[in-house]
């Protein structure tokens, strides 16, 4: 199923400008029918799933505790 930029923005609760920038940066593929861009709904959903996955991985990385260094000795 193909959606226009405006329909995609409404469906995902994102600003129209953000979706347009993703298309122009070629992060999201779109078909131009002569009047407007059409976006495959499933493809855009996949892009957002990948972005959420990267956010989770980054959060896990930042929340991981730093291990103690066994070679550190208190010289005081």
Q: Is the pTM of this model over 0.75?
A: no
At residue 76, the pLDDT reads 56
At residue 75, the pLDDT reads 64
Question: Which residue matches tokens 């940066």?
Answer: 25
At residue 38, the pLDDT reads 93
Q: Are 41 and 26 in contact (CB under 8 A)?
A: no
Q: Are 1 and 41 in contact (CB under 8 A)?
A: yes
At residue 74, the pLDDT reads 65
From the first residue on, what is the mean pLDDT of each consecutive set of 10 residues in the chain (76 residues)? 91 90 89 91 79 94 84 65
The residues spanned by each domain of the chain are: 2-63
d(CA 27, CA 9): 15
Strands 31-32 and 2-4: unpaired
């Amino acid at each position: 199923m193909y959606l226009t930029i405006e329909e995609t923005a409404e469906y995902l609760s994102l600003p129209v400008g953000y979706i347009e920038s993703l298309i122009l940066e070629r992060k999201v593929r779109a078909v131009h029918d002569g009047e407007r861009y059409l976006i495959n709904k499933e493809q855009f959903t996949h892009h957002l799933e990948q972005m959420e996955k990267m956010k989770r991985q980054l959060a896990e990385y930042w929340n991981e505790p730093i291990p103690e260094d066994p070679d550190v000795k208190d010289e005081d």
